[in-house]
């Protein structure tokens, strides 16, 4: 009878396990049934189909203005501008509440102008449009507001062209200016503070405070910068630009303002003399770098920083009063640091076990400071595959007698990511792996489907392992249930109860407390006499049996299903120590996408965006090419590593308290998929036997004909019907499928983050103009940043081939972007030549080759 009962249960379990596997269908294309939902899932995603940045698929630019032609007079003016629109909507125009545009036409037809966020706007559809309009005023305003995206501006005032319009980053265009010398002397107060940072090279932060009263006008601060120092950045709420010999021109208006200019020295600095202070005494602060050199400042008088108006952050550094003619000298007492502090490194390590269980892929994130050991090596037998420092891939080299692979580090503060392989053993592995001690260590162990962690040794704190999940209360309950079964029956059934409940206790969905209810009800039925109480106890026992079957049967089905197909299980546990990365894959459906994305993301970081390249006018062509001696050789064969997994299945967090020695090891006890399958089958058999015992089926008079072949066939055909019926009656398509369809349709271009390249750039400099010919190869319709900026050098004309560009916009940082369709383009930029002997041109998209032609210098 027991054999027939087990046969019936086995048939039930197998039919429910196999049915979902038969119905699974995979496809790499959008099914026809989902095609009608395409417009539905893309609702509100119009911006995704606008051109994106060449290196960032998340930044889409939907409106592209061209040059704004603005002709103004005392009583009014007119404007003309072409727009390239990729997303319909309200497009802001120039002007504001006090300068409202009139007679605005769109493609020759007058259109209504409405306010959006207080700015005049017109509605435009997708496509190319010409916008024209007029202004009427009693007196020309001092400034007029332009849309932030407005790129180039041609300004004519009273018939006279303005060569260099004063345009701020927030879109304010200044129309009137006058020399500040026309103002009264007391209407202008200038204070200059400087912070000398003794790094390599020395950097000076020039803080200029201006207090203006009266009318607006132009201020020229000469000199504002030190000689032999190159400007790096300007931060100002007022329009400002650098002129010749370090002069700073500011379009000022009444109020209190701060202008911050950061410069760097061209070479070693042993002193600054003679000092010019055209605006009175200056306060200089000095930030020492004793690990680089120890100096003593001579020739100037110190002052209490708390008694000055320098910024609060500077008050922790020594300050000095600087008068005209002072000579500041740095007396070098020591160079370098002969007694550095110990290294302080922190390690965040992640292990991924291979699907076949033969090795680990490891990701290390090392942060902290180095002061003594400047070569970080990995111990054998781990194989180092890739190292990235501050987002830039580094060349892996061998070091020492043991030829340990590692990387040379030049910065004291490090942010390092390393990828490696460890295949020596899956039972014992190094906790650190590096030839260095760490002051703190935490890690995550990721196991693929079918694998589980029984326990671990060599870790101070961890969660999630089977052995560590047990508590005293759990052990007490299991022993109580097992002893009760032994008391009711015999030691054999007690042992079966101990094994069945012990193996299934910490499995998701397993029956637990219901066993106590069933045993308590059965005990009452044995002890109390016939009567009403015994009937209530019988009802209690019957309810416990029904509850047990409702819990146990799905659990047993789940155990067999997950044992045969472990990838169907989706662990949802999140342990308190660990934390999921934003970009980690969290479901089985992401495996394929993660593999494809990993191939695209494994690129060298040598070409990085938003790099400001210093440019100096050289004496000869050959001396024009300057190289950073510490930069990575672009022709070096950088190791790409084994490829980093992004999947996440079962994750176990581990943590060590206090410092961790480089020789410390971790001992793992892992359960393979085969062992887990055997455990699942064992759980089902033991639970079935325990249910058979406690329910009392062996005392029921069930005939053999009740378990005939017909009943077996009935279980095979009936239960799959119930299993499949839920899928037929459920709503189609489910939200998860629509979400996956949306992800496919909004998939980013495969070329990201390098959808555009510049093979060549030619710079021609004369006394009057500067011309840049910029070749761009675009893999898609994209947006590309152009050389220059609003502070250092500004272009006047931009051509694509021989025609003016039709899509040109300026971002909030003042950088100019051009829209380029897929293909090869020659972009020409023309502007006035700077009056300085040396200047910088920012190159967000770095060209592979630069040719410089100098005329008249």
DSSP code per residue over 315-367: GGS-EEEE-TT--EEEEEEEES-SSPPPPEEEEEEEEEE-TTSS-EEEEEEEE
Residue 64 pLDDT level (bands cut at 50, 70, 90): confident
Six-digit token string for 229: 């120092």
Six-digit token string for 677: 């399958």
3-state SS, residue 209? strand
Residue 719 pLDDT level (bands cut at 50, 70, 90): very low
**In the predicted model, what is the mean pLDDT of residues 172-187?**
56
Residue 173 pLDDT level (bands cut at 50, 70, 90): confident
Secondary structure of 667-735 in the HEC alphabet? EEEEECHHHHHHHHHHHHHHHHHHHHHHHCHHHCCCCHHHHCHHHHHHHHHHHHHHHHHHHHHCCCCCH
Six-digit token string for 286: 């000095």
Among the residue ranges 364-378, 384-398, 627-641, 768-782, the one predicted with the least confidence is 627-641
3-state SS, residue 591? helix
Kindly state the helix (H) or strand (E) to which residue 284 belongs, with its residue range.
strand 282-287
Count of residues in the chain: 857
Six-digit token string for 836: 């300085």
Task: Read off the pLDDT of residues 400-454 as tens digits, 9 standing for 90 and up.
Answer: 777 888 888 877 788 899 989 888 877 888 888 888 888 888 888 998 888 888 8
DSSP 216: -
What residue has token string 């932060």?
Answer: 205
What residue has token string 């009137």?
Answer: 176
Contacts of 847 (CB under 8 A, 6+ apart): 758, 759, 760, 761, 774, 775
Which of the pair, 21 or 327, is modelled with greater confidence? 327
What residue has token string 């340990």?
Answer: 404
Cis upstream peptide for 381 (omega within 30°): yes
In degrees, rounded to 5, the angle at the alpha carbon of residue 171 between the alpha carbons of residues 168 and 173 is 65
**In the predicted model, what is the mean pLDDT of residues 331-336?**
85
Is residue 214 within 8 Å of 235, Cβ to Cβ? no
Chain mean position to CA 197: 31
Q: What share of the chain is helix, strand, coil (3-state, %, to 5)?
A: 25, 35, 40
pLDDT of residue 285: 93
3-state SS, residue 272? strand
**In the predicted model, what is the mean pLDDT of residues 800-809?**
85
Is residue 225 within 8 Å of 276, Cβ to Cβ? no
3-state SS, residue 12? helix
Q: How many angstroms separate the CA atoms of 677 and 664, rounded?
A: 33
Q: How many angstroms separate the CA atoms of 796 and 792, rounded?
A: 13
Q: Which of 418, 465, 459 has the alpha carbon at shortest distance from 441? A: 459
Is residue 374 within 8 Å of 412, Cβ to Cβ? no
**In the predicted model, what is the mean pLDDT of residues 155-180?**
74
Q: How many angstroms separate the CA atoms of 244 and 742, rounded?
A: 55
Cis upstream peptide for 178 (omega within 30°): no
Task: Read off the pLDDT of residues 826-852 as tens digits, 9 standing for 90 and up.
Answer: 999 888 776 666 667 778 888 988 888
3-state SS, residue 4? helix
R_g over Cα of the chain: 38
Is residue 801 within 8 Å of 826, Cβ to Cβ? yes
Is residue 443 within 8 Å of 349, Cβ to Cβ? yes
Highest mean pLDDT among 156-160, 597-601, 616-620: 156-160
Is residue 357 within 8 Å of 451, Cβ to Cβ? yes
Residue 303 forms beta bridges with which residues? 319
Is residue 641 within 8 Å of 382, Cβ to Cβ? no
Range 17-20, long-range pairs (CB < 8 A, 24+ positions) = 17/557, 17/560, 17/561, 17/564, 17/565, 19/719, 19/720, 19/723, 19/724, 20/561, 20/568, 20/723
Six-digit token string for 814: 């003042």
Is residue 720 within 8 Å of 19, Cβ to Cβ? yes
Six-digit token string for 589: 């459906």
Residue 826 forms beta bridges with which residues? 775
Among the residue ranges 494-503, 540-549, 561-570, 597-606, the one predicted with the least confidence is 597-606
**In the predicted model, what is the mean pLDDT of residues 241-248?**
76
Cis upstream peptide for 261 (omega within 30°): no
Q: How many angstroms separate the CA atoms of 593 and 210, rounded?
A: 56
pLDDT of residue 244: 66
Task: Read off the pLDDT of residues 485-504 as tens digits, 9 standing for 90 and up.
Answer: 888 888 888 888 888 888 88
Contacts of 22 (CB under 8 A, 6+ apart): none
Q: For the chain, what percent of residues have pLDDT higher than 90?
A: 8
In degrees, rounded to 5, the angle at the alpha carbon of residue 496 between the alpha carbons of residues 491 and 499 is 125
Domains of the chain: 61-174 (2.60.40.1730), 180-335 (2.60.40), 343-464+573-602+640-663 (2.60.40), 483-565+672-700 (no CATH), 756-854 (2.60.40)
pTM beyond 0.85: the answer is no
């Amino acid at each position: 009878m027991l054999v027939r009962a087990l046969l019936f249960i086995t048939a039930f379990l197998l039919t429910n396990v196999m049915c979902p596997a038969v119905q699974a269908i995979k496809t790499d294309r959008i099914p026809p049934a989902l095609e009608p939902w395409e417009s539905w899932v893309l609702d509100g995603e119009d911006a995704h189909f606008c051109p994106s940045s060449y290196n960032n698929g998340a930044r889409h630019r939907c409106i592209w203005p061209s040059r704004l032609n603005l002709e103004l007079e005392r009583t009014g003016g007119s404007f003309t501008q072409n727009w390239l629109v990729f997303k319909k909507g309200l497009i802001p125009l120039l002007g504001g509440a006090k300068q409202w545009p009139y007679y605005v036409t769109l493609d020759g037809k007058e259109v209504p102008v409405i306010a959006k966020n207080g700015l005049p706007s017109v509605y435009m559809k997708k496509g190319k449009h010409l916008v024209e309009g007029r202004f009427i005023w009693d007196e020309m305003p001092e400034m007029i507001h332009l849309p932030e995206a407005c790129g180039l501006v041609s300004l004519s005032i009273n018939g006279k062209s303005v060569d260099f319009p004063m345009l701020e980053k927030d879109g304010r265009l200044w129309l009137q200016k006058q020399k500040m010398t026309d103002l009264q002397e007391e209407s202008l107060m200038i204070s200059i503070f400087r912070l000398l940072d003794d790094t390599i090279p020395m950097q000076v932060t020039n803080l200029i405070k201006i207090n203006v009263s009266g009318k607006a006008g132009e201020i020229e601060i000469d000199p504002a910068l030190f000689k032999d120092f190159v400007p790096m950045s300007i931060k100002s709420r007022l329009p400002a630009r650098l002129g010749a010999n370090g002069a700073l021109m500011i379009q000022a208006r009444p109020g209190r303002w701060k202008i911050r200019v950061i410069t760097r020295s061209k070479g070693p600095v042993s002193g600054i003399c003679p000092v010019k202070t055209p605006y009175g005494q200056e306060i200089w602060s000095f930030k020492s770098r004793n690990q680089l050199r120890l100096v003593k400042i001579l020739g100037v008088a110190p002052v209490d920083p708390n008694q000055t108006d320098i910024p609060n952050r500077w008050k922790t550094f020594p300050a000095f009063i600087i008068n005209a003619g002072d000579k500041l000298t740095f007396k070098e007492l020591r160079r370098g640091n002969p007694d550095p502090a110990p290294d302080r490194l922190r390690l965040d390590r992640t292990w991924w076990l291979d699907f076949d269980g033969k090795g680990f892929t490891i990701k290390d994130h090392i942060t902290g400071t180095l002061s003594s050991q400047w070569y970080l090596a990995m111990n054998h037998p781990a194989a180092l595959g890739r190292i990235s420092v501050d987002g830039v891939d580094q060349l892996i080299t061998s070091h020492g007698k043991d030829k340990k692979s590692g990387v040379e580090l030049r910065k004291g503060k490090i942010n390092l990511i390393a990828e490696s392989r460890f295949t020596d053993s899956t039972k014992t592995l190094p906790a650190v792996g590096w030839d260095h001690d760490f002051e703190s260590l935490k890690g995550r162990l990721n196991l693929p489907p079918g694998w589980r962690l029984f326990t671990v040794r060599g870790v101070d704190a961890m969660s999630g392992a089977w052995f560590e999940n047990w508590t005293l209360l759990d052990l007490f309950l299991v022993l109580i249930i097992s002893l009760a079964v032994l008391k009711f029956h015999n030691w054999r059934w007690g042992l079966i109860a101990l094994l069945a409940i012990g193996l299934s206790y910490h499995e998701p969905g397993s029956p637990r407390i219901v066993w106590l209810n069933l045993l308590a009800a059965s005990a009452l039925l044995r002890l109390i006499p016939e009567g009403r109480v015994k009937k209530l106890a019988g009802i209690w026992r019957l309810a416990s049996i029904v509850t047990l079957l409702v819990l146990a049967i799905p659990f047993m089905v789940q155990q067999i299903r997950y044992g045969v197909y472990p990838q169907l299980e989706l662990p949802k546990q999140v342990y308190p120590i660990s934390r999921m990365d934003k970009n980690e894959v969290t479901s089985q459906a992401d495996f394929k996408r993660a593999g494809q994305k990993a191939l695209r993301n494994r690129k060298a970081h040598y070409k990085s965006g938003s790099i400001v390249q210093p440019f100096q006018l050289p004496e000869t062509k050959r001396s024009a090419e300057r190289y950073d001696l510490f930069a990575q050789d672009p022709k070096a064969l950088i190791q790409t590593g084994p490829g980093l997994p992004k999947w996440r299945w079962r994750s176990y967090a581990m943590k060590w308290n206090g410092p961790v020695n480089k020789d410390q090891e971790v001992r793992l006890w892992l359960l393979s998929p085969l062992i887990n399958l055997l455990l699942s089958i064992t759980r089902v058999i033991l639970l079935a036997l325990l249910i058979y015992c406690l329910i009392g089926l062996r005392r029921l008079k069930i005939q053999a004909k009740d378990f005939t072949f017909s009943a077996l066939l009935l279980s095979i055909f009936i239960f799959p019907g119930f299993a499949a019926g839920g899928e037929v009656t459920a709503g189609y398509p489910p939200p998860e499928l629509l979400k996956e369809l949306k992800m496919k349709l909004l998939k980013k271009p495969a070329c990201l983050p390098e959808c555009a390249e510049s093979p060549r750039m030619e710079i021609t400099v004369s006394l009057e103009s500067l011309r840049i010919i910029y070749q761009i190869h675009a893999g898609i319709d994209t947006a590309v940043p152009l050389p220059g900026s609003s502070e250092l050098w500004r272009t006047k004309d931009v051509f694509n081939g021989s025609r003016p560009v039709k899509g040109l916009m300026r971002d909030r940082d003042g950088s100019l972007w051009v829209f380029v369709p897929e293909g090869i383009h020659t972009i020409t930029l023309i502007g006035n030549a700077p009056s300085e002997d040396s200047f910088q041109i920012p190159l967000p998209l770095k060209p592979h080759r630069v040719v410089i032609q100098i005329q008249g210098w």
